[in-house]
C-alpha cells in the first residue's frame, strides 16, 4: 500500500472543484486511458485577469486525483503569470509530498496547467517537440531533459517516477541515461586536470571502469562488455549477453561506453568492436 499523506487522502476522498466549465477561458488535456491516468483542467478569469474558477476531471489513481484537486485550489486568485510559475514540486509540496513513484501525477498537473494557459493565450497547440525517446509512453527527449533539470534527477528510475519514461519495455534506458549524463556533465564543476597516464595505468583504469561502471549498467539489460585489447588509444571490446544481438548496440558502444571511458580515463580514447 502506498504511504499517502493525510492531505493526499483528504483531497482524494473529497476532491475540490470537480467538473467542467462551459465557457472556460483555458482548457488543458493531458494523459490517456492507455497510460492509466489523464486529466482535463479548466479555468475561468475575472475582470482583473485573475483565475476566479478552476475545475478538473481526472481518470487515475488516488494521487492523480489529489494532485488535480490541489492544483485547482492553488491557482485560484492568481494571475496567469503567477500561475505559470507553479512547478510540479509545488503541487507535491502542497499535498505534503507524494510517494516517489507517484511524482508523475504532479507533473501531469503542471502539464495540464501549462496547456490550459497556452490555450488561453491562443498559442497553437504545441507540436510534439523534440524526438520521442520512450515509445511506450510517448515521452520526448525535451520532456525528459526538463524534468531532470527541474527536479535534479540522477537515475533512470527517477525519470520513470517523474514522467513514466522507461517504465514500459525498457528499450530506451540507454538513451535516458545519456540525457541524464549529458545534463549532469554540464552541471558538473570544472573537470579535474588530466594526468598523463602510463600504458599500464591506462589499461588498468579502463579495466576498472568497465568492471565498476559500465558492466553493472549493461547488466541491467543482461548485456556485457569484454575488454579484448588496448592499442594506443583504441579500446577493442566485444559485446556479450543481450548486447550481442541488440540492433542498438553500436549506439550503446559510442554514446555510452565510449563516452564513459573518455570521462573516466582519458578523452582521447576510441572504442571499437571486434567480432
Partner 1 sequence: MNVIYMDNNATTRVAPEVLEAMLPYFSEYYGNPSSMHSFGGDVAAKIKEARENVATLIGAVPDEIVFTSCGTESDSTAIRAAIESYPDKRHIITTRVEHPAIKNLYENLSKKGYRVTFVPVDSYGCLDLDYLYQNLSDDTAIVSIMWANNETGVIFPIAEISQEIKSRDIVFHTDAVQAIGKIPIDVDKTGVDMLSLSGHKFHAPKGIGALYIRKGTKFAPFMVGGHQERGRRGGTENTAAIIGLGKAAQLAKKHLDENGYERIKGLRDKLEINLLENVQNTIVNGDRDNRLPNTTSIAFEYVEGEAILLMMNEHGICASSGSACTSGSLEPSHVLRAMGVPFTAAHGSIRFSLSRYNTEEEVDFVVEKLPPIIENLRALSPFWKKAMGT
- The contact set with partner 1 (CB under 8 A) reads 2, 9, 12-13, 15, 18, 29, 33-40, 57-62, 64-65, 101, 136-137, 160, 164, 167-168, 222, 241-242
Q: Quick one: 64 or 113, whose CB is closer to partner 1?
A: 64
Q: 48 in helix, strand or coil?
A: coil
Q: Quick one: 27 or 183, whose CB is closer to partner 1?
A: 27
Q: What is the dihedral of CA 103, 104, 106, 109, to 10 degrees?
A: 180
Q: Quick one: 132 or 136, whose CB is closer to partner 1?
A: 136
Check 35, 134, 172, 243 and give the catalytic one: 35
CB of 41 to partner 1, least distance (A): 10
Q: Nine-digit cell at 127? A: 507540436
35 catalytic per annotation: yes
Question: What is d(CA 228, CA 213) in angstroms, rounded to the nearest whole number?
Answer: 17
Tell me if 128 sits within 8 A of 122, measured CB to CB: no
CB of 28 to partner 1, least distance (A): 11
CA 50 centroid distance within chain: 31
Q: Quick one: 33 or 124, whose CB is closer to partner 1?
A: 33
Q: Quick one: 44 or 224, whose CB is closer to partner 1?
A: 224
136 catalytic per annotation: no
Q: Quick one: 136 or 270, whose CB is closer to partner 1?
A: 136
Question: What is d(CA 95, CA 268) in angstroms, rounded to the nearest whole number?
Answer: 49
Check 105, 119, 134, 243 and give the catalytic one: 105
Question: What is d(CA 123, CA 27) in angstroms, rounded to the nearest whole number?
Answer: 12
Q: 57 in helix, strand or coil?
A: strand
Question: What is d(CA 272, CA 238) in angstroms, rounded to the nearest whole number?
Answer: 8
CB of 142 to partner 1, least distance (A): 20
Closest by CA position to 232, among listed 255, 265, 210? 265
CA 212 centroid distance within chain: 25
Tell me if 116 sits within 8 A of 57, measured CB to CB: no
Question: What is d(CA 261, CA 43) in angstroms, rounded to the nearest whole number?
Answer: 51
Q: What is the CA radius of gyration of the chain?
A: 23
Tell me if 149 sits within 8 A of 132, measured CB to CB: no
Provide the annotated active-site residues.
35, 105
Amino acid at each position: 500500500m502506498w504511504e499517502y499523506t493525510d492531505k493526499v487522502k483528504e483531497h482524494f476522498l473529497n476532491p475540490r472543484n470537480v467538473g467542467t466549465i462551459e465557457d472556460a477561458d483555458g482548457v488543458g488535456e493531458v494523459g490517456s486511458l492507455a497510460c492509466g491516468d489523464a486529466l482535463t483542467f479548466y479555468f475561468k478569469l475575472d475582470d482583473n485577469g485573475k483565475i476566479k474558477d478552476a475545475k478538473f476531471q481526472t481518470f487515475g489513481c488516488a494521487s492523480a486525483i489529489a494532485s488535480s484537486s490541489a492544483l485547482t485550489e492553488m491557482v485560484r486568485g492568481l494571475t496567469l503569470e503567477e500561475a505559470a510559475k507553479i512547478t510540479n514540486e509545488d503541487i507535491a509540496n502542497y499535498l505534503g509530498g507524494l510517494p516517489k513513484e507517484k511524482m508523475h501525477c504532479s507533473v501531469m498537473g503542471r502539464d495540464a496547467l501549462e496547456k490550459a494557459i497556452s490555450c488561453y493565450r491562443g498559442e497553437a497547440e504545441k507540436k510534439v517537440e523534440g524526438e520521442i525517446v520512450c515509445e511506450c509512453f510517448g515521452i520526448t527527449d525535451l520532456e525528459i531533459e526538463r524534468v531532470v533539470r527541474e527536479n535534479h534527477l540522477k537515475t533512470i528510475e527517477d525519470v520513470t517516477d517523474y514522467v513514466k519514461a522507461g517504465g514500459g519495455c525498457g528499450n530506451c534506458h540507454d538513451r535516458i541515461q545519456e540525457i541524464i549524463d549529458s545534463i549532469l556533465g554540464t552541471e558538473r564543476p570544472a573537470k579535474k586536470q588530466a594526468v598523463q597516464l602510463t600504458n599500464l595505468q591506462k589499461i588498468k583504469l579502463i579495466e576498472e571502469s568497465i568492471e565498476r561502471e559500465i558492466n553493472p549498467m549493461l547488466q541491467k539489460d543482461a548485456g556485457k562488455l569484454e575488454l579484448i585489447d588496448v592499442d594506443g588509444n583504441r579500446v577493442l571490446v566485444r559485446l556479450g549477453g543481450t548486447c550481442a544481438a541488440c540492433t542498438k548496440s553500436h549506439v550503446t558502444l559510442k554514446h555510452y561506453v565510449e563516452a564513459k571511458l573518455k570521462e573516466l580515463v582519458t578523452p582521447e580514447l576510441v572504442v571499437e568492436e571486434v567480432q
